[in-house]
Amino acid sequence: MVTNKIATLIGAVFLCSGVLHAQDTLQQVRKWSLQDCIEYAKRNNIQINNLRLTKKSTEQDFLLAKAARDPTLSGTVTQSFTNSKNANPVIGGFQTQSSFAGNYSLNSSVTLYNAGYITNDIKQKDLLERSADLNVQQAQNDITLQVTQAYLNILLTKENILYLQDLVNTSLAQQQQGQQRFNAGSIARKDLVQLQAQTATDKYTLATAQNALRQNTLVLKQLLQLPSETNFDVASPDTLITKQLVSSLREAQETAMLTRPEVKNGQLGIETAQLALDKAKAGSKPTLGLAGSLSTGYSDNQSEKYFNQLDNNFYQRLGLTLSIPIFNNRIAKTNIEKSKIGIDEAKLSLQNTKTVLSQAIEQTYINVLNAQNQYDAAQEQLKSAQESYRIANEQLRLGAIATVDLVQQKNLYVQAMQSFIQAKYNTVLYAKIYEFYMNQPITL
C-alpha cells in the first residue's frame, strides 16, 4: 500500500510539472526578427494589398485592350406572338388573326484600321500595369523603412531599460549603505535623504523608459496591423554594426536613379502620356471597319414548312464602313492639346521625383556622417562619465565625497549613457536607410 501511494504521488508530481511546462510553453511570446516584421508587413498591410488589387484591375484592362483586335460575335433569337384584327376581303368586316414568328441572326464586326489606336491602347495599358506593380514596390519600400525605424526604437528602449535597471540597483545599494552609515552616525540625515531621492528619481526614469517600450511596441504592432491581444516581442540581435564604410553620395544617387521604383514609375508616366497623345491623334483620322451578319426567320402564316422557310429567308450581309471625322466641335483638337499638356506634366513630375529623391539621399548621407561623429564623441563621453562615476562611488564608500557630488556625477553619467545609446541607434538607422537607397536589403 505504501509503495502504491508513493508511486501515485510521484505520478502526480510528474503530471503537474508537465502541465506547468505546457502552460509556460503556451505563455512564451514569439520573438519577431526585423526580417519577420518586414515580410509580414509586406504581405498583410492593407494599403499594399489595395495596390495589389489595383494591379489586378490594370491586368484586366490590358487583356481588354488586347481583345479589341479580335472580331466581335453576337447572336440574337427572337420569338414573337402577334394578335390583331384584319379586314376580311371576302365577307367583309374584321376578323381576329394571330401568328407565331421567329427571327435568328449572327452579327460580327472587326476594326481594320483606326490609325493605330488599338495598338497604342494596348501599349498604354501594358505600361499602366507595370506602373501599378511599381506602386506596390514603392509602398513596400515605405513600409520597410517605417518598420525598421519602429523596430530600432524598441531595441533602443530595451537597451536603455537595461542600463536604467542597473542604475536602480546601484541606487538601492547606495541607499542601503547610506542607511547603515546614518545609523552609525557617519553621515547627516540630509545625505541619506538625497540618496533616497536619487533612488526615487532613478525608479521614475526606469518607469518612463518602460512606458516608452510599451508605446514603441504598440507603434510597431499598428504598422504590422496585429490585433491588440497579440503577444508580441522583438528579437535583439547579437551585435549591431555601427562603424562601416559609407559609399559616396554620387554613387548612392546614381544607383537610386536606376533602381528606385518611383523613378521608374515617373519614366513610365512620360511614356504613358505620349501614348495618350498618339491615341488622341487617332481620333482625327478615318476608321475602317468590316461588319457582317447572317439571319433567317419563319412565320406560321406561311404555307411553307419550318425548315423551308429558314432556307428561303436565309440572309447574308457583308460590308465595309469608313468613318471620316469632318467636324466634331473641336473634341479631337482639344484631346490632342490636353495630351501634350499631360506629357509636360509627366516630365515635371519625374523631375520633381528625382529632385526629392536626390535631396532625401543627400540628407540621409549627412545624417550618417553626423551620427557616426556623434557616436564616437558619445562613446568617449560615456567612458569619461563612467569612470568619474566609478571614482565617486568609491569616494562615497570611503567617506571622501559628499552625497550631492555623487548625485551630480551620477546624473552626468546617466546623460552620457542615454546620449550614447541614442547615437548608437541613430548610426544604425541612418546607415540602413542609406544602404536601402542603394538597393541593398535591410538586415540587422
Whats the size of the chain, residue-wise? 444
Q: Which of 160, 251, 247 is nearest to 211 (CA)?
A: 160
| Domain co-membership, 392 together with 370 | yes
The fraction of the chain above a pLDDT of 90, given in percent, is 63
Per-residue burial over 91-110, b if 16 or more Cβ lie within 10 Å, else e, is eeeeeeeeeebbebbeeeee
Whole-Å CA distances, 270 to 112, 145, 299, 433 = 29, 28, 60, 28
Residue 20 belongs to some domain of the structure: no
Residue 276 near residue 121, CB atoms below 8 Å: no
Q: What is the per-residue pLDDT across 201-233, written as a single tens digit (0 to 9) for each?
A: 999 999 999 999 999 999 999 999 998 888 889
Range of the domain at 126: 32-70+114-285+328-437
What the block records as the C-alpha cell of 59 is 491586368
Residue 16 belongs to some domain of the structure: no
Q: Given 300, 324, 348, which residue is the final one in a domain?
A: 324
Residue 40 belongs to some domain of the structure: yes
Res. 12 pLDDT band, cuts 50 70 90: very low
| Domain co-membership, 253 together with 129 | yes
**91 against 44, higher pLDDT:** 44
Q: Tell me, what CATH number does 137's domain have?
A: 1.20.1600.10
What the block records as the C-alpha cell of 115 is 490609325
Res. 91 pLDDT band, cuts 50 70 90: low
Model pTM? 0.82
Please report which helix (H) or strand (E) contains residue 420, including its range: helix 403-437
| Domain co-membership, 304 together with 402 | no
Place of cell 542604475: 167
Residue 412 near residue 118, CB atoms below 8 Å: no
Q: In one letter, which amino acid is 88?
A: N
| Domain co-membership, 210 together with 277 | yes
Residue 6 pLDDT exceeds 50: no
CA Rg, the chain, in Å?
Answer: 41
DSSP state of 399: T
Q: Given 276, 298, 324, which residue is the final one in a domain?
A: 324
How many separate domains does the chain show? 2
Residue 154 belongs to some domain of the structure: yes
| Domain co-membership, 173 together with 296 | no
Q: What is the per-residue pLDDT across 30-39, written as a single tens digit (0 to 9) for each?
A: 789 999 999 9
| Sign of the torsion angle spanned by Cα atoms 149, 150, 154, 155 | negative
442's CB contacts (< 8 A; 6+ apart) are: 34, 38, 144, 148, 432, 435, 436
Residue 220 near residue 155, CB atoms below 8 Å: no
Q: What is the per-residue pLDDT across 64-84, written as a single tens digit (0 to 9) for each?
A: 999 999 999 999 999 998 876
Please report which helix (H) or strand (E) contains residue 285, including its range: none
Residue 216 near residue 153, CB atoms below 8 Å: yes
What the block records as the C-alpha cell of 142 is 515605405
Q: Given 301, 324, 347, which residue is the final one in a domain?
A: 324
**395 against 373, higher pLDDT:** 373
Q: Write the secondary structure of 129-158 as one string of H (helix), E (strand) and C (coil).
A: HHHHHHHHHHHHHHHHHHHHHHHHHHHHHH
